[in-house]
Structure 1
Amino acid sequence: MFKPQLSALSAALLLAGIAGQAHAEDLSQLWEGGKVGIDARYRYEHVDEDNSKNNANAQTLRTRITLQSGKWYGLSALVEGDNVSRIGSDNYNDTRNGQGQYSIVADPDGSEVNQALLRYDYSMGNVVVGRQRINLDNQRFVGGVAWRQNEQTYDGALTQFKPLDNLTLTYAYIDQVNTLFGPDDNRFTAAGNPANIDGHSHLMNAQYVFAPELTVTAYRYMLGLDNLANRTQSSTTNGLRLNGTVAGVTYAAEYASQSEYASNPKNIDADYYLVEAGYTFKDLNSLMLKGGYEVLEGDKDNSKGAFQTPLATKHMFQGWADIFLATPQGGVKDAYFGGSMPLLGGNVQSWYHDFRAEAGSSHYGDEFNVAYGRPLPWVKGLSALVKYADYNADDYAVDTQKLWVQLQYTY
């Protein structure tokens, strides 16, 4: 259920400075400058796991209506509603329908307020209060999981302050996370997939752009996740990220450390590392190649927790088969390579991942991903996507193949 929690203090922050504007603005700008957005996304998803589960075949339709107001003295509002509906049979486990004999396709039916917010923009930043989308940096630690039909959004307040042209300071307070498993809980809900995560989380992020060659981002994410996995995902993560482009080569280097927070019963002392580089060959039809090495530390003696990223857009990382949504106790080392290029009016991309344990010598498995997407020219706003993931298990999980066919219309 949507719980708007706009305190008098939050409202005051939003309205601060309006009275001091130098010229009068007509209140009618709020509706005259407004717009309506419509989005419909059909998806077929097939999951084949080498275990006792039946193959999943899911057809779902996500419809979204967005109402965006105009601005009045920097103040605006947005309301967005989503509905996810099954098409045809429910031969899949959506985590709420009780179809445990099938593989999981985590797109439960239901309608929900996806966003409902007030925003105030001023010369040095903005303040947003209410239910909102939050995507920080590359979404490795905080994101909206937009790949799934029910997006992950956040109830709270966020402010961005830009005291210098190249410096952005971001702070957010979150008291509820509306997960992709919503909108509702029932008797099939498990400790790891609540519809809403209660708690008190603080997100702090400082980014300075020195030049195209170097952007430096420092962050501290304090996640109090009271009803997720018995608090074992509550953590404090401190990190530093460097990225940029040098002589046509894009790069990223990142380090983070994680410890327990908010009454987490586990002791956590785990690190995160990333190095990545890519290059676009303009003379080869803009072929982009990229490789990287990402490490989420595990626990060698099984007494502490592994490095976790509970609020990340996880589908963007460690392969599209989503084998490592929760980091195994042994951690994960992911060596990956791939690329993309324009093709027949669209874009094709392919990736290879080699997964190994960080603590120990286990070779978890490897994965191959390929996708092709393009706009469909006969209808403006219509696009299509075909996507495939093939995970070959060695010492972790089971062989898994996933196929998606998607049509999306945006107006």
Structure 2
Amino acid sequence: MRMIKLSLLSLAVASSTLSHAVVAEEALSNLFTQGKPLLDVRYRYEHVDQDNALNNANAQTIRTRVGFQSGKWYGLSALIEADNVSRIGDASYNSFRNGQTDYSVVADPDGTEINQALLRYDHKYGSAVLGRQRINLDNQRFVGGVAWRQNEQTYDGVLGQLKPLDGLTLTYAYIDNVNSIFGPGNGRFDTAANQANIEGHSHLLNVQYVLMPELTATAYQYRLGLDNLAAGGQSSKTTGLRLNGAVSGVSYVLEYAQQTEYADNPLDLDSDYYLAELGYTVKGVTLKGGYEVLGGDEGPGNRAFQTPLATKHAFQGWADIFLLTPPDGIKDAYVGGSAPLFGGTLAAWYHDFRAERDSSQYGEEIDVSYAHAVPGVKGLVGLVKYASYDADDFAVDTDKFWVQLQYSY
């Protein structure tokens, strides 16, 4: 009997201790006491030299991002984040907001705005996010944050992810506003071609299943209703399938998508997207070669395959010549890779661009970059980067050069 009483007493003490631990773990104050401040500062010098009548651009900007990521309370958390982009020195570049139209473009306008402001709920079977948020799907070829520009692209809406089985992720997002890289608007030089806010009603559906380490299959449909985007043919429905994986250091990607009109798009769209990529990684050195096709289409207006919400700088060359797919489409044959060098990372790429419809030569591009952490300063990384586009039948010769320092805390 004494043993039973001692056991019951021990159980009661243990239960009480566990109860207090649970209460402490789920205390409302955890939102603040377990939160952390966010700080990211990025200085950049960008030079643009084009073979046309525009003056060369020389832009010095600094982006300061501050915020607070809360802790969790019963799976709930919050994030608030603000950006400021400021010019250093003369405005000898066209930011789309400063009226300097006799200079080449550097799309980093001055201004301050809320970058993210959201509520998040996490559960063992998924998550939900409400508010202004960063959305990067797959490799960001169709939906991304354009993090390369000083003012990141973020989305106002709701995103839900469900993970009912190991390896299976179901994603749905509804977006009613896109905060573009051209924001914030200043009311002076705003045009339909550089909208700070892209209004509309978009639905993003993405189903990803990791069948095995060597194979991941992703099916998606992105219904983009972009009401006030100037370039015609941007509201579209894109449906596709992506297969990717790696075996013994050899990686591959195969992808196909079809694009048709959506919402109030007056154009009759019917174009295709193809991607085939093969890579090999050994001792930190990665080599890749690929062939990407965005189909063109004849008829009134530009009915080629478009990717208006993509992180476009990561594709088809760093000179950003093909941000809008030409009416005849584009075929991009590329090869390149990255390797460790003197404690940093060297990357180099070559692109051959041709029209999809008649294979006429658009031009060629060479891209080179080198990134290295700055010794003695944790979180500080330096970058030098160069892009050279040699025009043939499309656009003009363009050289771009960057020097960047970024500190993240």
Q: Give the TM-score normalised by structure 2.
A: 0.93
Name which of 264, 284, 296 aligns with 1:298.
296
C-alpha deviation, 1:37, in angstroms: 1.2
Is residue 307–residue 327 contact of structure 1 (8 Å, CA) maintained in 2?
yes
Match of 2:46 in 1: 45
Name which of 310, 329, 335 aligns with 1:312.
310
Q: Which amino acid aligns with 1:235?
A: S
Pair 1:227–1:185, CA change in 2 (3 A): farther
CA distance in 1, matches of 2:400, 2:381: 20
Match of 1:33 in 2: 34
Match of 1:287 in 2: 285
CA distance in 2, matches of 1:242, 1:403: 34
Residues paired across the two proteins, number: 387
C-alpha deviation, 1:151, in angstroms: 0.2
CA distance in 2, matches of 1:149, 1:384: 15
Structure 1 stretches of 4+ with a deviation exceeding 4 A read: 301-304
Match of 1:232 in 2: 233
C-alpha deviation, 1:288, in angstroms: 1.3
- Whether 1:354 aligns to 2:355 is no
Pair 1:303–1:188, CA change in 2 (3 A): closer
Q: Give the TM-score normalised by structure 1.
A: 0.92
The 5 A counterparts of 1:177-216 are 177-216=178-217
CA distance in 2, matches of 1:318, 1:241: 19
Show structure 2 runs of 5+ residues with no match.
1-20
CA distance in 2, matches of 1:299, 1:325: 17
CA distance in 2, matches of 1:268, 1:168: 30
Match of 1:100 in 2: 101
Match of 2:176 in 1: 175
Match of 2:374 in 1: 376
Q: Secondary structure at the match of 2:72?
A: coil
CA distance in 2, matches of 1:222, 1:289: 34
Q: Secondary structure at the match of 1:367?
A: strand
Match of 2:363 in 1: 365
Identity %: 69
Match of 2:83 in 1: 82
C-alpha deviation, 1:23, in angstroms: 5.3
Is residue 141–residue 313 contact of structure 1 (8 Å, CA) maintained in 2?
yes
C-alpha deviation, 1:300, in angstroms: 3.7
Q: Which amino acid aligns with 1:276?
A: E
Match of 1:13 in 2: none
Q: Which amino acid aligns with 1:180?
A: I
Aligned-residue RMSD, C-alpha: 1.2
Is residue 232–residue 302 contact of structure 2 (8 Å, CA) maintained in 1?
no
Is residue 231–residue 263 contact of structure 1 (8 Å, CA) maintained in 2?
no
Bigger Rg, structure 1 or 2: 2
CA distance in 1, matches of 2:183, 2:249: 43
Q: Pick which of 378-387 and 183-192 moved more.
A: 183-192
C-alpha deviation, 1:287, in angstroms: 2.0
Q: Which amino acid aligns with 2:403?
A: V
Is residue 233–residue 302 contact of structure 2 (8 Å, CA) maintained in 1?
no
